[in-house]
Structure 1
Amino acid sequence: MSDAYSPVPELNRLKEFDERIGNHYYATGFELLDFDKLDAAGGYSDEQEFIDSFLCFAYANHSGSLYTLWRMDDREDLATLPVVVFGDEGGIGIVAKDLRDLFRQLGCDWPQWPSWDGAQFMKPDPDDEPSPRHEEYVAWLHDTFGLTPPDNPGDLLAHARREYGAQLENWVDRFYEED
């Protein structure tokens, strides 16, 4: 049995960074959680196939939305799976085409605000202070993966939505339980 945080090397490297900087935010609202299946399937479905298809790894914002990897197929490299957010007040949406794109989005330090219309990033007010360890994160992102943040995290979100949005929506519709 491995002591690694997850079966995803990229997430393990982020966890090492996270532990090194201590209890400080490096991206607005982002906080790593225990790597596991989506507990209670985010209120969407109790079907085991649905539950097993989402690997939860972080809070997406300060109000409890969750970032997950969507296990849409049986690929071995979990870091290449699309990243999906489950909104704390409902809604589910594609955020990034893979973990590295999410890491780049986090480098923008913009809040994630999922809704029933899907994921979205909100541009911070000019007076907002950056996350306390944001600059360290951006340096880590470059040093570790050779990546830089985009000018707007919504650009990567739009690309992921074009690639996977309809597929996720059709797949979720098979399981969604309306009251």
Structure 2
Amino acid sequence: MPELNLLKAFQDEVGYEAYADGFGLDDFGDRSGLAAGWSKDPDFLARLTPFARATGGGSFYALWHVDSRTDLATLPVVVFGDEGGQHVVARNLRELFQLLAYDTEISVDWDDAYYYRTEDQTPSDAHAQFVTWLAENFALSPTDNPDALLAQAQSEFGDSFTVWSNAYLTT
């Protein structure tokens, strides 16, 4: 997938978690976290592709194969929280990249996922390089309103993801 390959090359250059707080690309497709914390059902696992660490605590991002589209970069991005909760956060990878450029770790709980940054938060070491990379590769800017992007993703995919995932979740 070109988008993630480009990001992986960038990450290899600047470092894991060096360009977006708490974020780092991991082993693409490693479903062990899903099987351990959510469901071992093969149908559930087949429709999710984990690809990145979302927080220092262990939350992770996955692509949700919502339909039969073949361009993986157009799939919705979901987050699975290390303390529970799973939510759609972006309608596609490029939107996630804009959220990452906000440069704060996502907060995930059972009811919500959100990005919160304090006024005095120090940018990640390679944040400025990431913003340049985002503009050069995709003609995108960081979002200054992560809540709006999250709301759009939730509006389009949130209910259907909740219904679909709840059918598989272990209690």
C-alpha spacing 1:156/1:46, structure 2 compared with 1 (3 Å): same
Alpha-carbon distance change, 173 to 149 in structure 1, aligned in 2, over 3 angstroms: same
5+ residue gaps, structure 1, are: 1-7
Q: Which runs of 5+ in 2 are unaligned?
A: none
Find 2:42's aligned residue among 45, 48, 56: 48
Separation in 2, partners of 1:24, 1:174: 33
Structure 1 residue 135 displacement after superposition: 0.4
> Does residue 1:171 correspond to 2:164, yes or no?
yes
Give the aligned partner of residue 29 of structure 1.
22
Match of residue 83 from structure 2: 89
Taking structure 2 as the reference length, the TM-score comes to 0.95
Q: 1:157 aligns with which of 138, 150, 153?
A: 150
Is contact 2:75-2:92 (8 Å) kept? yes
Which secondary structure does the structure 1 equivalent of 2:44 belong to? helix
- Under a length normalisation based on structure 1, what TM-score does the superposition of the two structures give? 0.91
- Aligned residue-pair number: 170
Question: Which segments of structure 1 move beyond 4 Å, counting only runs of 4 or more?
Answer: none
1:65 aligns with 2:51: no
**Counterpart-to-counterpart distance in 2, 1:125 and 1:175:** 37
Once the two structures are superposed, residues 86-105 of structure 1 have per-residue CA deviations (whole angstroms, 9 ceiling, x without a partner) of 00011000010000000011
Deviations 1:46-79 (A, max 9, x none): 1001011111111111111000000111211000
In the alignment, what sits opposite 1:140? 133
**Counterpart code for 1:146:** A
What's the secondary structure of 2:115's corresponding residue? coil
| SS in structure 1 of the partner of residue 18 of structure 2 | coil
- Cα distance in 2 for residues equivalent to 1:165 and 1:154: 14
Is 1:80 the counterpart of 2:74? The answer is: yes
Structure 1 pair 23/116, CA: closer, same or farther in 2 (3 Å)?
A: closer
Instruction: Please give the alpha-carbon distance, in whole angstroms, between the structure 1 residues aligned to 2:30 and 2:168.
Output: 16
Contact 2:22–2:55 under 8 Å retained in 1: yes
Are residue 99 (structure 1) and residue 93 (structure 2) matched?
yes
Q: Cα RMSD over matched residues? A: 1.2
Separation in 2, partners of 1:112, 1:65:
9
The one-letter code sitting in structure 1 at the alignment partner of 2:14 is: I
Secondary structure of 2:108's counterpart equals: coil
Q: Secondary structure at the match of 1:28?
A: coil
Q: Would you say the 8 A contact 1:67–1:84 is kept in 2?
A: yes
Aligned to 1:20: 13
Identity %: 44
